[in-house]
Chain A
Amino acid sequence: MRKSRHNLKSPEQELRIFRVRALLALLLVLLLTGLLVGRLVYLQVAQHEVYTTRSENNRVRVEPLSPTRGLIYDRNGVLLAENRPTYNLTLVRERVEDLEATLDRLVAILELPEEEAEAFRVRSRQRKRPFQPALLMSDLDEGQIARLAVNRHLLPGVEVEAQLLRYYPDAEIMAHALGYVGRINAEELERLDAGRYAGTHFIGKTGVERFYEAALHGEAGLRKVETNARGRVLRELERTDPVPGKDLILTLDKSLQQLAFDLLDGRRGAIVAIEPATGGILAMVSTPGYDTNQFVTGIDVASYRGLQEDNDLPLYNRAIRGHYPPGSTIKPFMAMAGLTEGVITPGKTIHDPGYYQLPNDDRRYRNWLRWGHGRVDLERSLAVSNNTYYYTLAHDLGIDRIHSNMTDFGFGTQVAHDVFGESRALMPSREWKRERYNQPWYPGETLSVGIGQGYWQITPLQLATATAVLANRGDWVKPRLAQRLGDEPVPLSLPDTPEDIDPGNEGWWDSVFAGMEKVISGHEGTARRTGVGLEYRMGGKSGTAQVFSLGQDEKYNADELAERLRDHALFMAFAPLEAPQIAVAVIVENAGGGSSHAAHLARAMTDAWLLEDEKPDA
């Protein structure tokens, strides 16, 4: 049977079939090769440009180079803010396969508490440009770096990155003046120039760090690098070096600042000292202070809550945001207003029975001395801080002229050039009251304003500024914290500087100065005890601000309550009288009378600044 089948085989036919099929196959081969050639021509000729661009984009990556933040010095070259090399933990989300697992592993490796783990999650989810590292944790210690290094293979996308981190050597005393830098948050990311900040993790949050952010930050550089597919940099193609931020030289004197901080001795209060001729802020302290360094590395939740819930409000910058009734400290300014407006003359006297009454009104507005000071002229009104004299003056001036004259001294306005977050506080006026309460202005309210009570509120910075303008005999120099930005001095005259005050008679300054000198050096001056042994001539004015009520959400126990209801002690002063070099404003909350609880602080400041052997840095 097999044989018969073989007989049927026909070699010629099989060969013919094969050759036909082979020819067909060859045609198919040519056809398919043509297809490949067509595809190649399409890719390499028609679409060449497209793919060239894509290939170029593939290999070249632009990396930001973050600039070194400018340093901050005090006026004597003492370093106030430096950059310390540290190691940060960063994460590139695009390179992490399982984010949750990676974070859990990190928390375990770094042995962090539960709360920190949550913070990690938040930070890792922060919106970033693709392939930009997110900062998880700053300032790793050596142990943590070592443990991360050992576990590196388990943590793709996680990097330990060397970075310069801000450090404040005198954080607590400088806290409110310098401010601090912190991590860029989502909201800031939104408004920042993405290019400039691409490589930067930190930004000035408050203080001069915030105000001079642009200059301190510097210009970001960039480098074009060739990378492989895993993003590893193979070589640098092009580089634009970053321009480091400018160093900032402040007008602050670190020793004076330290003294002011020590003088306040942990009490709630503020001291601001200004050099009148230059407007340079010599000291600006708000106490209690706090350690700004914890904000740089990222403050932990518990510590932050502690600071926030502290009844002494350490985070609150009293020097520029604290609103205090000025009390009698504004009497010199009121006197200048009266002289300027021609309502009083230096020699004009009033009789003080111990109270003042408005015409057609039974109500008695009392002097602090119940039986009165009797005959009172301008100088004596300042020396003894007579209220009746100023009730009369205020009534005669009227609120409109008071408002206008006091605004000229800077009350109710933002006075400083470069103080971030400064409050205007409140210089009341008819318009303000109508707007605020929809009520007319009552004459009695003018009297309260006349002695620095009522609606009038000032900040310590405003009081120091007004004192400096007074010491300058009306010449305005805007207070500033920065003396120089790199090599560029901050000019003496700045835009938006208020107009100089011209009372029409230069002698009137001397009259007010004389009264202010008597406050300290006069036999009946309210701060005469402070003036004992004074080696230079000094003018000042005490103030005692009544505390009317407590904030609604403040909770105190009984002892604290009694303390919190005590008057605020205020004092303003400048010295030396003939050529003022320093103007000071002191406020100590709930300390009592200003002449006995604030004046000696002001004297200590002027002594330190003016006397060679008292020089704080000597």
Chain B
Amino acid sequence: MGLSGLSRSWRPRPIKATASGMSRRRGFWQRVHLDPWLLGMLLVLMAAGLVVMYSASGQRIDTVISQGIRFGVALGVMISIAQLAPATLMRWALPAYLLGVAMLIAVELVGDMGMGAQRWLAIPGVIRFQPSELMKLAMPMMVAAFLSRRELPPGIRNLTVCAAIIGVPVVLIAKQPDLGTSLLVSVSAILVVLLAGLSWRIIGLLVVLAASALPLLWMNMHDYQRKRVLTFLDPNSDPLGAGWNIIQSTTAIGSGGVLGKGWLEGTQSQLEFLPERHTDFIVAVLGEEFGLVGMLAFLLLYLLIVCRGLWLAAQAQETFGRLLAGSIILTFFIYVFVNVGMVSGILPVVGVPLPLVSFGGTSSVTLMAGFGILMAIHAHRRLLPR
């Protein structure tokens, strides 16, 4: 129907100019549909992440190997997705989105409980899967696919449709309850809308609305969520309970100083004072053992990745690819910001891992799939005549 008809016009035309040696060299990356700069920086980040992981896991090499395998899988996923044409992605947007929503409803009905929240969908003995992870990509894809076919900047009617597209899964995720993920998922979709050129008047209006909705949000929060917020405002109010994490992680980072205590020498990390030190709080290990210098190096690397990502997005020729790529790379930054902000005590504790450094298979795969999409969009540009 309409979708297939639309995509036809995006199918890349055969590339003709491949004669010179220069273009053959360039052509390698073009052929494998990868961006060498982005790939290189991601590999550096993963390698550095594994070094930190060895320390954070309590010097367990099997954890590092396991994380390395996950990275391998994630790289495979990225390379595979990079081979897809943006048009294919656009075709998949609706089915992926619907599948995601269906699975979220399934989680609501039959999901496993894990850490006090219902987030997992399991086929026993085969796989345990968090549908919200799928939504992290399906959501911006869906919104981008929808908006790219409409007049931009979007009008009120289309915005209402967007709101519905965003609202359903976000509410479902929030009900699990997983406030952090639901916020991040909605942010990734909202970013698409913002990049599409949402008018400043409406942005202002939404900000006011959001601010006035805060009390409503507070009233609908679970106790543990409220506690997190309160603890964030004053960690010492519950130093051995909820505030413990923040106190210990800021202590770890602060005691690291400029140069850090040295790899494997962080007392906070190695003596298990840090909770979740190899997952969400791994930045504290980094800060304690490698100091301000190490932290700045990581932040710089993240910043370069974000810049490269934005550059790639801006180079995309089709609106769908541009919006999606922009949203993916900015969401990536938001992960970094929220994670570092939470561990260093300027944001409340929400379960957000540090991208490609924290231990975790699903999140790495999702992130690398996002970079795969980014590269697919970039590599499948049509060569327009200048």
Interface residues of A (CB under 8 A from B): 2, 5-6, 8-9, 11, 13-15, 17-19, 21-22, 25-26, 29-30, 32-33, 35-37, 39-41, 43-45, 47-48, 50-52, 54-56, 58-59, 226-230, 234
Chain A residues closer than 8 Å to B273, beta-carbon distance? 58-59, 228-229
Residue of B197, B255, B307, B345 touching A48 (CB-CB under 8 A)? B255
Size range of the interface on B?
35 or more
**Complex CA–CA separation, A162 to B256 (angstroms):** 40
CA distance A11 to B321 in the complex (A): 13
B344 touches A50 (CB 8 A): no
A265 to chain B, nearest CB (A): 62
Question: Is B272 an interface residue, CB under 8 A from the partner?
Answer: yes
Nearest-CB residue, chain A, relative to B152 = A14
Most A CB within 10 A of own CB, among B153, B253, B258, B306: B253
Residue B250, interface by CB 8 Å: yes
The reply to whether the CB of B38 lies closer than 8 angstroms to some CB of chain A is no
Cα-based distance from A29 to B302 in the complex (angstroms)? 11
21 contacts between A and B (CB under 8 A): A9-B319, A17-B196, A18-B323, A21-B195, A22-B314, A22-B326, A25-B326, A30-B303, A32-B333, A43-B250, A43-B253, A44-B254, A51-B253, A51-B254, A54-B255, A55-B254, A56-B255, A58-B271, A226-B271, A228-B271, A234-B271
From the candidates B2, B197, B340, B341, name the one contacting A21 in the complex (CB within 8 A).
B197
Say yes or no: is B141 at the interface (Cβ < 8 Å to chain A): no
In the bound complex, residues from chain B placing their C-beta under 8 Å from that of A8 are 151
Closest to B195 in A: A21
Docked complex: B263-312 residues within 8 A CB-CB of A: 267-268, 271-273, 275, 287, 291-292, 295-296, 299, 302-303, 306-307, 310
Complex CA distance for A412 and B141, rounded to whole angstroms: 103
Additional pairs, 10, CB under 8 Å, beyond known A22-B326, A33-B302, A44-B292: A17-B153, A18-B196, A19-B314, A21-B195, A21-B326, A32-B337, A37-B299, A39-B346, A43-B253, A45-B257
- Residue numbers in B under 8 Å from A51 (CB-CB): 250-255
Interface SS majority for chain B? helix
Q: Which residues of B contact A48 (CB under 8 A)?
A: 254-255, 257-258
**How far, in angstroms, from A226 to B268 measured CA to CA in the complex?**
11
Does B313 belong to the interface (CB within 8 Å)?
A: yes
- B268 contacts A55, CB within 8 Å? yes
Tell me which residues across on chain B come within 8 A of A26, comparing CB atoms: 306-307, 310
Question: Which of these, B256, B326, B341, contacts A44 with CB under 8 Å?
Answer: B256
The residue on B at minimum CB distance from A8 is: B151
B150 in contact (CB, < 8 A): yes
A22–B309 CA distance with the chains assembled, in angstroms: 11
Q: Smallest Cβ distance from A553 to chain B, in angstroms?
A: 52
The answer to whether A55 touches B255, judged by C-beta atoms less than 8 angstroms apart, is yes
A50 to chain B, nearest CB (A): 7
B307 touches A36 (CB 8 A): no
In the complex, A18→B150 CA distance in Å? Answer: 15
Instruction: Evaluate whether A52 and B346 lie within 8 angstroms (CB atoms) in the complex, with A9-B152, A18-B322, A29-B333 already known.
Output: no
Taking a contact as CB atoms under 8 Å apart, the answer to whether A58 and B251 are in contact is yes
How far, in whole Å, are A26 and B346 apart by their CA atoms in the complex? 21
A132 to B128 alpha-carbon distance, docked (Å) = 45
Tell me, in angstroms, the Cα distance from A47 to B257 when the chains sit together.
9
7 interchain residue pairs of minimum CB distance: A51-B254, A55-B255, A17-B197, A228-B272, A43-B254, A51-B255, A44-B292
A22 touching B196, Cβ below 8 Å: no
Contact with A along B46-74 (1 / 0, CB 8 A): 00000000000000000000000000000
Q: Which residues of B contact A (CB under 8 A)?
A: 2, 149-153, 191, 194-197, 248, 250-258, 267-268, 271-273, 275, 287, 291-292, 295-296, 299, 302-303, 306-307, 310, 313-314, 319, 322-323, 326, 330, 333, 337, 340-341, 344-346
Contact in complex: B152, A17 (CB < 8 Å)? yes
**Known contacts A14-B197, A17-B196, A52 near B295 by CB under 8 Å:** no
Tell which of A2, A15, A43, A55 touches B2, judged by Cβ atoms closer than 8 Å. A2
What's the nearest-Cβ distance from chain B to residue A429, in Å?
65
Cβ contacts under 8 Å, B151 to chain A: 5, 8-9
Give bound CA distance, A29 to B326, whole Å.
13
- A33-B303, A37-B299, A55-B268 as given contacts; A25 in contact with B310, CB under 8 Å: yes
In Å, the complex CA distance between A202 and B206 comes to 70
Instruction: Report Cα–Cα, A176/B239, bound state, in Å.
Output: 51
Taking CB atoms, residues of chain B closer than 8 Å to A30 are 303
Minimal Cβ-Cβ distance residue in B for A2:
B2
Contacts of B310 in A (CB 8 A): 22, 25-26
**How far apart are the CA atoms of A35 and B268 in the complex, in Å?**
24
Q: Which of B253, B272, B302 contacts A40 (CB 8 A)?
A: B253
Separation in Å of the A340 CB from the closest CB of chain B? 75
Contact partners of A33 in chain B: CB under 8 A: 299, 302-303, 337
Residues in B whose Cβ lies below 8 Å from that of A37: 296, 299
Shortest CB distance A60–B (Å): 9
* Residue of A6, A21, A22, A47 touching B254 (CB-CB under 8 A): A47
Query: Whole-angstrom distance from the CB of A471 to the nearest CB of chain B?
Result: 69
Task: Contact check, B253 vs A18: say whether CB atoms are below 8 A apart.
Answer: no
Q: A234 to B273: give the CA distance in the assembly, Å.
A: 13
Which residue of B is nearest A21, CB measured? Answer: B195
CA distance A112 to B258 in the complex (A): 58
B292 contact from A11, A19, A41, A50, Cβ within 8 A:
A41
Closest to A53 in B: B255
Report whether B340 and A36 are in contact in the complex, using a CB–CB cutoff of 8 Å. Answer: yes
Given contacts A29-B303, A39-B344, A51-B251, contact A59 B271 (CB under 8 A): yes
